[in-house]
Amino acid sequence: MLKESFIAPTPNDAYKLAIQKYGSIDNFKVIKASQYKDKDGKLQSEITIEVDEDTFKRFAGIDEEEALLEEISILKAKMDRMKEVLQPKSKDNSKLDEVKNILIKRGLNESWVNHMLDPFAGTQVAEDKALLLSFVLEEIEDSITISKKPIDKRVNIFVGPTGVGKTTNLAKIAAWCIKKGVKSEQIAIVNLDNFRVGAYEQLGFYAKSLGIDYYCVDNPKDVQNLMYQLSNKELIFMDSAGSSPYDLDKLIRMVDVYKQSSQKSSCVNLVISGASKYVDLKDIYEHFSFLNIEKTIITKVDETRNSGNLIAFLLDTKLPVSFISTGQNVPDDLQIATKRAILEHFIGEVNGK
C-alpha cells in the first residue's frame, strides 16, 4: 500500500482533491485527518489516504518504467540545483582580467596581483570592477608601513643614488624640524659628499639660509672627530654621494664610524625616486642594504604616472616611509608620509586620471 496526503483550506476540500484524483471513495481509504497552521498563520487541513500500488499507477497514468524515469529526472534536477549552489556563480572572468591588467600596467607585481585576485575567479565578485579595485587598494593600505615618527633619531644620514633628491630633501627636512620647534643652533648639517662639483656649495647654501652649522668631512677619522665635536647638538643631518663602488665602500666605513660614535641613536634613510622602475628600486635597495636602512624617503612623486612600481617595492621590502617629496621647492614641497598620500596617486592612476 502507498500513502498519500492532500492539503486544502478545509477537510472537505482536501477530501475532494483525493476524490478528484482517484475517481471514487472506493479506490482509497482515509487513514488520517488533521489541521495545522501554515507559516503564514492560515489554517490548513490535511488528509492522508492509503491506496494500493496498482490503483496508484492506474490513476497516475504511468507504468513502472515511466515512474522510475520520472523519479530519475526529478533527482537529476535536484542535483543540478545543488551543483549550481556549490559551483562558483559566475564563469565570466573578463572584468577580473581587466582589473589585473590595469594593476600590472600601473606597475604592481604580476604574481602579487594574481595572488590577491585569483581567489575571486568564477565568483560574483569577479564581475564587479569597483569591488575588486577597492579590495586591492585596501590590501595595499594594510601592507605598506609608515614610520611612527618621521625623525626619531639624533643622527640621520641620507643615502641613495645621485640625483634622487638627497640634498634638497635634507634641507626641506631640516626646515621642517625647525618649524616643529627645534632651534637651528641645535642642528648640524654634515656633508660627506665633498667630491662632487657644486655639492659643497649646494648644501652650504641651504644650511646658511636656515642658520644651521655646516661641516664637511671625507674620511672615517674626521667623521669620528666631528661626532665628538658635535656631541652637544640635538639633531645631525648627514648628506652623502655614494654611487660608485668606491663611494659606497667609503660610505660604509664612514657610516660605521658615525654609528659607533652616535651610540645607536642614528638612522639610515634611503632616498628613492617614486618615478623609478621596480627593478631599479630593488637594485638600489640591495646596493645600500649593507648600511641597515631603517626608513625611506620618497621623492619625485610629482613626476610619475606609474606609482605601482613604488608600491610593489614598498610591499616587498616593508620599509617604513617617513617623508614624501612632491616637487622641487625647498622647503615647501614636502609631506609627512601617510598611507593616503602614497595611495592617492595610485588611485588616480588606476581610475585613468
Cell reading at 167: 640634498
Strand order in the sheet with 235-239: 213-216, 187-191, 235-239, 155-159, 266-273, 295-299, 321-325, 334-336
Treating both helix axes as pointing N-terminal to C-terminal, what angle do 245-261 and 220-229 enclose, rounded to 10 degrees? 30
Side-chain-side CA neighbours of residue 345 (13 Å): 22
Distance of alpha carbon 308 from alpha carbon 350, whole angstroms: 9
Q: According to CB under 6 A, which one of 45, 167, 307, 309 is a site residue for ligand GDP?
A: 167
Position 195 contacts ligand GDP (CB under 6 A): no
Position 332 contacts ligand GDP (CB under 6 A): no
> For ligand GDP, how many residues bind (rule: CB under 6 A)?
18
Cell reading at 159: 643615502
Least spacing, CB of residue 328 vs ligand GDP, in Å: 4
Position 325 contacts ligand GDP (CB under 6 A): yes
Least spacing, CB of residue 246 vs ligand GDP, in Å: 17
Q: Which does 302 bind (CB under 5 to 8 A by kind): ligand GDP, Mg ion, none?
A: ligand GDP
Least spacing, CB of residue 137 vs ligand GDP, in Å: 23
Q: According to CB under 6 A, which one of 23, 163, 211, 348 is a site residue for ligand GDP?
A: 163
- Alpha helices by DSSP H, listed for 180-320, are 199-210, 220-229, 245-261, 278-288, 308-317
Least spacing, CB of residue 239 vs Mg ion, in Å: 6
Q: According to CB under 6 A, which one of 102, 155, 157, 164 is a site residue for ligand GDP?
A: 164
88 upstream amide cis, omega within 30 of 0: no
CB-nearer residue toward ligand GDP: 239 or 349? 239
Treating both helix axes as pointing N-terminal to C-terminal, what angle do 53-60 and 11-22 enclose, rounded to 10 degrees? 80
Position 243 contacts ligand GDP (CB under 6 A): no
Interface mask (CB under 6 A) for ligand GDP, residues 257-296, using x and -? ----------------------------------------
**Please, what is the Cα angle at 347 between 340 and 97, to 5 degrees?**
135
CB-nearer residue toward ligand GDP: 101 or 328? 328
Cβ proximity of 276 and 309 under 8 Å: yes
CB atoms within 10 A of CB 49: 23
> Looking at beta carbons, which residue is closest to ligand GDP?
165
Query: Helix-strand-coil percent breakdown of the chain, rounded to 5?
Result: 50, 20, 30
Position 299 contacts ligand GDP (CB under 6 A): yes
Least spacing, CB of residue 81 vs ligand GDP, in Å: 60
Distance of alpha carbon 142 from alpha carbon 234, whole angstroms: 34
Position 167 contacts Mg ion (CB under 5 A): yes
CB-nearer residue toward Mg ion: 100 or 166? 166
Position 326 contacts ligand GDP (CB under 6 A): yes
CB-nearer residue toward ligand GDP: 22 or 206? 206
3 state SS of 240: coil
Position 189 contacts ligand GDP (CB under 6 A): no
- Footprint of ligand GDP (CB under 6 A): 160, 162-169, 299-300, 302-303, 325-328, 333
- Footprint of Mg ion (CB under 5 A): 166-167
